[in-house]
Structure 1
Amino acid sequence: MKRILLFSLICLFIFSFSFKDVYSQAKLPIRRGVNLTGLEAPFEGSWGVYVKDEYFDLVKKAGFDHVRIPIRWNGHAGYEPPYTIRDYIFNRVDQVIDLAFKNKLYVIINIHNYDEIMQNPEKHKDRFLALWDQIAEHYKNYPDTLWFELLNEPNTNLTPQIWNEYLAEAIKIIRKTNPGRKIVVDTANWANYSTISFLKLPEDQNLVVSFHYYNPFNFTHQGADWVQPQLPVGVKWTGSDQEKKLIERELDFTVEWAKRNGNVPLWMGEFGAYYRADMESRARWTDFVARSAEKRGIAWAYWDFASAGFGVYDGLNKMWRIELLKALIPDTKIK
């Protein structure tokens, strides 16, 4: 009898522990998303991409449930106190958010391409915090389906230690006007999965940790002209056991950290492979990364929707790159 009781208690403990792990990693109301790029450029359209009204309906019908909107707020604000954000960029972002809401999509907005703070964090700290003070005030009455992502890919001189300091102060400012809104925090060193262990979060039940995933980099960024020295093209991703295990091991690393840190939810805010790789390899890699994240309860947003380099949608010819779409959302109704 004692053995049966002991066995039952052990089973109950294992079941409870397993259920808690699965639930805690799956508690976000979002699952599959995509980055709608254009506003992260110096001006919308500067890099040939716009956030078009019709995109939101396309995204929703394809099966995505959220959009990430990268925004270069720092390019539309003063450089002297009080660092005022221009009305025109608020008006444009308001339009974009409203279009997403009309299509029942969650929206994540961030500060994107703030290169100056990466080079000189101390000089730009007050400006960064002032930007969030204004953004938080402006959107304080918006539904909780709008989330704030503090800063895209902290890097270079914005070290993990400095980033921990700045993110805590930014969260404190946002909480004055948005006490319950989800706030997304990127890991340091370009949102690398491996630097998640350096992240120090304040006590807050509405934080989400984001990392970006582009491994193996010589595959996902082959031929990209902004990577120097330029990586050679012709690299394939075959889906071998060794290739798969690398991805699984790196995603497991993030999940284990999350479990040790209060089961904080994880979101893979970017992943994708550049068009210079062959489409078969791109689709195979995209499918495996997306499914591997989902198995671990990690929500994701693909990079990106309609750019020539990464886009799942061909904005010029107004057609889906169907191999990538089916890799992302196997049960999509789009044919």
Structure 2
Amino acid sequence: MRRMLSRLAVISTLFLSALECDAKVDSSLVEATAHLKRGVNILGYDGVWDGWFGNPFEIEDFRRIRKAGFDHVRVNVFGLKYLNRSNVLDPKMLSTLDHIFDLAEANGLWVVLDQHDNSLCQSAPEKCKEPTLAFWRQISARFARARPKVVYEILNEPGGAMTHEQWNDLLHAALALVRRSEPGRIIIVPALNVAEEDAVEKLDIPADDRRLIVTVHYYDPHRFTHQGAPWNSALANVRNVTWGVEAARRKVTEDFEIIARWANAERRPVYLGEFGVLETAPPISRAAWTRHVARTAEALGWGWAYWQFDHDFALVDPVTREWNRPLLDALMQGEP
């Protein structure tokens, strides 16, 4: 295992050295990647967006997250839900977003603003372009020349019925729109979320836009990470699947190396925006997988955000609201 991580460290060193020698690399990108090392996903399924009603997340949790050693939060916003029939964003949601940004900044946390609402794009991609662009047009207008510690993520997990061509078309349009008012904003762009290990190689992004970070998610093997998931009929009754043999660990390294080779060739930083294991997995294997994925990403120089703070895959107990200490330690400490 140490040999595998040493090989990844060499890849990471070569990549970072190439970036340092690249005159096109923007200082704001370097700063952003330095503050997007260890994060956690928050607020995707809380009532915060509807008046802080019925949500387990509390204002004090921002302080707890920072104290635990995280440097950023990935804020999951179901943005299209808050567009009216004229594609105008709900002002109450925008006000809440401002409040969240204030709380994060006050606690020393950077923010990834993740437009998490992907159901329309996955089911009817031909209908999702207009509302997605409407969301980013209004967000960009509101925060232009403000909130320098906020990074935009154009769309969570594009995929489903969406093709690579459709995604690249929407992505180009969204980037062009934001760049008109925010040429300096750091933006995260995902590869199409499909079962293709080389999907990132089909991502088409403007060669001259050097303020971009590429993101991927990782939940393999699903039979382990999603065992007992009630929304997955094939896995709902699966239990006691363990993880940790050498071949399984090596598979993570091999999968990440595919992405790393592309990123190195394109000189693009990578962000692991989601990874996690459902609570129904055996706790020891759950911690082992989480630790291994986090350390492997770090060995490549990638920042990451664990999925997620509360609800399912959670880092905190739903009743006591205390940290799952073995899982938190797996993320923040120790060998892979």
2:165 maps to 161
The 1-side partners of 2:177 and 2:234 are apart by 40
Structure 1 residue 204 corresponds to structure 2 residue 209: yes
In the alignment, which of 231, 242, 248 is matched to residue 236 of structure 1? 242
Write the letter of the residue equivalent to 2:82. Answer: H
Offset of residue 131 of structure 1? 1.0
2:229 maps to 224
Offset of residue 123 of structure 1? 2.1
Contact 2:291 2:331 in 1 (8 A): yes
Offset of residue 168 of structure 1? 0.7
Contact 1:303 1:310 in 2 (8 A): yes
1:246 maps to 251
Q: RMSD of the alignment, in Å?
A: 2.4
1:22 maps to 16
Equivalences, count: 311
Structure 1 residue 134 corresponds to structure 2 residue 128: no
2:129 maps to 125
The 1-side partners of 2:194 and 2:107 are apart by 31
Offset of residue 22 of structure 1? 3.2
Write the letter of the residue equivalent to 2:130. Answer: D
Contact 1:25 1:298 in 2 (8 A): no
The 1-side partners of 2:19 and 2:239 are apart by 37
Offset of residue 181 of structure 1? 0.9
Q: Which has the larger radius of gyration?
A: 1
1:59 maps to 65
Q: What whole-Å deviation, never above 9, does each CA across 1:202-247 have from its counterpart, x for those lacking one?
A: 131100000000011100000101113235111001x221011100
Structure 1 residue 317 corresponds to structure 2 residue 320: yes
Q: What whole-Å deviation, never above 9, does each CA across 1:11-56 have from its counterpart, x for those lacking one?
A: xxxxx99854234679421211000133577965999644421111
Q: Map 1:37-48 to 2 at 5 A.
A: 37-38=43-44
> TM-score scaled to structure 2, two decimals?
0.86
Cα distance change on mapping 1:192 and 1:57 into 2, 3 Å:
farther
Contact 1:192 1:211 in 2 (8 A): no
Contact 1:153 1:188 in 2 (8 A): yes
Offset of residue 99 of structure 1? 0.5
The 1-side partners of 2:155 and 2:46 are apart by 12
Q: What whole-Å deviation, never above 9, does each CA across 1:109-148 have from its counterpart, x for those lacking one?
A: 1211331122222223112111110011111132321000
2:4 maps to none
Write the letter of the residue equivalent to 1:318. Answer: R
Q: Which runs of 4+ in 1 moved over 4 A?
A: 16-20, 23-27, 39-50, 190-193
1:4 maps to none
Structure 1 residue 79 corresponds to structure 2 residue 85: yes
Contact 2:297 2:303 in 1 (8 A): yes
The 2-side partners of 1:300 and 1:247 are apart by 15
Can you give the 5+ residue segments of structure 2 that lack an aligned partner in the other structure? Answer: 1-9, 21-29
Offset of residue 324 of structure 1? 0.5
2:261 maps to 256
Q: Map 1:316-335 to 2 at 5 A.
A: 316-330=319-333
Write the letter of the residue equivalent to 1:212. Answer: H
Instruction: Give the 3-state SS of the residue equivalent to 1:212 in structure 2.
Output: strand
The 1-side partners of 2:197 and 2:68 are apart by 28
2:114 maps to 110
The 1-side partners of 2:231 and 2:287 are apart by 23
Cα distance change on mapping 1:146 and 1:61 into 2, 3 Å:
same
The 1-side partners of 2:189 and 2:167 are apart by 10
The 1-side partners of 2:11 and 2:291 are apart by 29
Write the letter of the residue equivalent to 2:254. Answer: R
Instruction: Give the 3-state SS of the residue equivalent to 1:327 in structure 2.
Output: helix
Cα distance change on mapping 1:25 and 1:106 into 2, 3 Å:
farther
Can you give the 5+ residue segments of structure 1 that lack an aligned partner in the other structure? Answer: 1-15
> TM-score scaled to structure 1, two decimals?
0.86
The 2-side partners of 1:18 and 1:32 are apart by 17
Instruction: Give the 3-state SS of the residue equivalent to 1:89 in structure 2.
Output: helix
